[in-house]
A and B are shown apart, each in its own frame.
Chain A
Amino acid sequence: MSTDTLAKTDERIKSESLATKLMKRPELGAIGGVILVTIFFLITADRSMFTLSGIMNFMTPAAQLGILGIAAAMLMIGGEFDLSIGSMVAFAGMIFGVFTVNMGLPLILAIPLTIAFAAVLGAANGLIVIRTGLPSFIVTLAGLFVLRGASLVGLKIFTGGATQLRGVREAVASDFLTPIFSGDAFGFLFDWLAKAGVIDAFKSGAPKVPGVPVEIIWFILFALIATWVLLRTPFGNWIFATGGDALAAENSGVPVRRVKIMLFMLTATAAALVAIITVIDAGSTDARRGFMKEFEAIITAVIGGCLLTGGYGSAIGAFFGAILFGMVTIGLTYTRFDQDWFQVFLGAMLLIAVLFNNAIRKRVTGER
C-alpha cells in the first residue's frame, strides 16, 4: 500500500460549513440564550431595562455570580465540583471582617491574608478529594455545611453574640486600595460623557450612572484571563485533559493532582474575592452571605456549556451564562410578571442547557 493512496483526502468526509463549526462551540448555547432572553425582555419589559442604568443594574449581580461561575466552570472542565463556594463566601467574608474591623489591618494585608486563607481551605478540599478518591460532590458537600456553620459560630465569637459583623466600610474608607474593590470605575469618563450629553445626566450635570461598578471590571478581566489560560496555555490543555480522562492524562505526563488542587484553590479564592467585594460594598458581613451561590455557580457553568462529566466547557460560556442569570433575575422586575417566576425560569434554563450540551457533545465526538 503506497503513501499516496492512503494520504488522499477521504471522499466521504465533507468539508464543514461555518455553521457546523459554530454548532460545535461550547459557548454557543449561552450566547444564544442571552440573545433569546434579550428579545424576550425587549418585548415584555419596561424600556428602562436597557438604558445604561438598567444594564448596570443586572450586570452587577451577574458579575458577582460570574466570578464564581467562571471558577466553577474551570473546575468542572477539570472534572470536579465544588459545592462549598457559597459557604466559602460567608467564611471568607467573616475572616475579612475580622481582619479589617477587629484587628484593624490595612487592606494591603487583609486582602492577601483572606485570599491565602481561602486558598489553603481550597487546597484542603482538593487534597481530600485526591487522597481518598471520593467524589468531590460529597467531599465539598461536607465543606458546604462545615464552612457555613463555622461562619455562624465565628461571627458570634468575634462580635460577642451577633451574627452580623458591622463597621467594615468605616474601617476601610480611607484605604488607598478601597477603590479597586468597591464603588465605580471610570467615573471621569462618565462625567465627561454626561457633560457632552452622550449619557443621561441629572440637572446638576452629574451623570445618572456614576461609573462602571468595579465587580463588572473584575468579571470581564477574569473571563478574559480564564479563556486565555484554557485555550492558549499548556495549563489549559492539562485542565481539559484532566477532566477528559484523568488516567490517560496521567499516563501522558500531565500532573493531574497538581491541576486539580490548583483548581480547587481557584474556586476558593474566587469566592474570597466575591466576599471582599460584596462585604466592602455592604459595609458588613453575615452568615447568610453567598447562600445558594454554589448551585447558581454550577448552573452558570452548565448554561455556559460545561459537561457534568468534565473535559469540556468554556469560560466565555460561563461569562454569558452569568449574564443570562442576571438578566432573568433582575429583568422580571421590569415586567408585569410575578417575580417569583424566576426560579421556574432558572430550572427550565438548566434543563434546556443540559439537553443542549449533551447534543453538542455527540456532535463533537461524532457519536450517533
Chain B
Amino acid sequence: MSHPIIHMENISKHFGNVIALNGVTFDVRPGECHCLLGDNGAGKSTFIKTMSGVHKPTGGSITFEGRPMSFDSPRDAMEAGIATVFQDLAMIPLMSVTRNFFMGREPTKGRGLFKRFDIDTANDITRAEMRRMGINLRSPEQAVGTLSGGERQTVAIARAVYFGAKVLILDEPTSALGVRQTSNVLATIDRVRSQGIGVVFISHNVRHALAVGDRFTVLNRGQTLGTATKGEITATELQDLMAGGQELAVLEGSLGGTV
C-alpha cells in the first residue's frame, strides 16, 4: 500500500473557548478518494480549512510527503500541491472559461513591454483539459455564467488538476446539483483519481460518497469516529455514525426507512 501524501494526526482547533476540532486523524493516498462525512456543524469546514492552510491547528501534526509540514497561508498549501475547490468555486460568471481557468496564472508570450497574455495557447489548453474531463465546450471563450453548476464544478476541478494538484479537496461538490449533474461530477472525481491524485471528498450525502469513495471517515462533534474501507460499511451504518448514533435510527423507523 502506498504512503499517504498527507497525513493529519490528532488535529485539534480551538476558537477561543469553542472547541471546533478535538482530535481528528485523516490521511490521503495517491489515487484514492477519501470521503469525509459529517452532519452540519461536525467540523468538516474547519478541518478542510486547516488542511488547506487557512487555519493553523491548535494541536496535532501534519505530515506532507513524509515530512512534517506547517502551512502559513493557503498560498503555501497551494504551492505544495494541495488544491481546494470551495463551494463558491472561485469562478467569475462574466468572464470566459479560459480567463477563469488561468486567472492569476496567465501564460505569456513576448518579452518586456510586449509581454502579453497568450490567449490562443490558453484557449487550446482549456479546451483540451475540459475535454479530458468529459466536457466539450462550445467555445472556451464562452462566459462561465452560461455553464451549468456541474460544468462549473468541472472547470474548477480541471483547473486545480492542470496546475499540479497532488491532493484535491472538494467541499460538498454535489450538494447543489441535480441527479445528472451529480453523476457527471462523480465521474470527474473518478477520472481525477485515476491520474494518481488523492481526492478528499467532503459530503453529507452518504449515497454520493459510497458511489466513488475508497475510504470513509466520519466526523462528529469535532472528532473522527474511525475510518472504514469500501465494502466494510453500509449506507445505514454510515448514516447512523454521522448522526451520532441512536436518534436517527428511531427517527428513521418512524419515517419508514426513507431517509
Contact = CB atoms under 8 A, between A and B. Distances in A.
Are chains A and B native binding partners rather than an unrelated pairing? yes
Interface of A: 1, 3, 6-10, 13, 15-16, 228, 232-234, 236-238, 240-241, 244-245, 247-249, 251-254, 307, 311-312, 361, 364-367
Interface stretch (B41-49, B89-97, B229-237, B244-252): B89-97
B143 A366 contact: yes
Nearest to B187: A1
B227 to A, nearest CB: 28
A241 B103 contact: yes
Do most interface residues of chain B lie in helix, strand or loop, or is the interface mixed? loop
Nearest to A312: B94
B121 interface: no
Contacts of A247: 88, 90
A253 B75 contact: yes
B117 A237 contact: yes
Contacts of B135: 6-7
B4 interface: no
Contact of B104 (A254, A307, A365): A254
Nearest to B122: A237
Given A240-B95, A254-B104, 6 more contacts: A9-B136, A240-B99, A241-B92, A244-B92, A248-B90, A365-B94
Contacts of B89: 248
Contacts of A10: 136, 138
Nearest to B86: A251
Contacts of B138: 9-10, 13, 15-16
7 contacts: A3-B134, A6-B134, A7-B135, A232-B117, A236-B117, A244-B92, A366-B146
Interface of B: 74-75, 78, 86, 88-95, 99, 102-106, 108, 115-117, 119, 131, 134-136, 138, 143, 145-146, 183-184, 187
B145 A364 contact: yes
A241 B34 CA distance: 32
Contacts of B143: 364-366
A233 B95 contact: no
Contact of A6 (B78, B105, B184): B184
Contacts of B75: 253
A365 B99 contact: no
Contacts of B95: 237, 240-241, 244, 311
Contacts of B183: 1
Contacts of A307: 94
A6 B135 CA distance: 6
Contact of A252 (B90, B117, B134): B90
B90 A232 contact: no
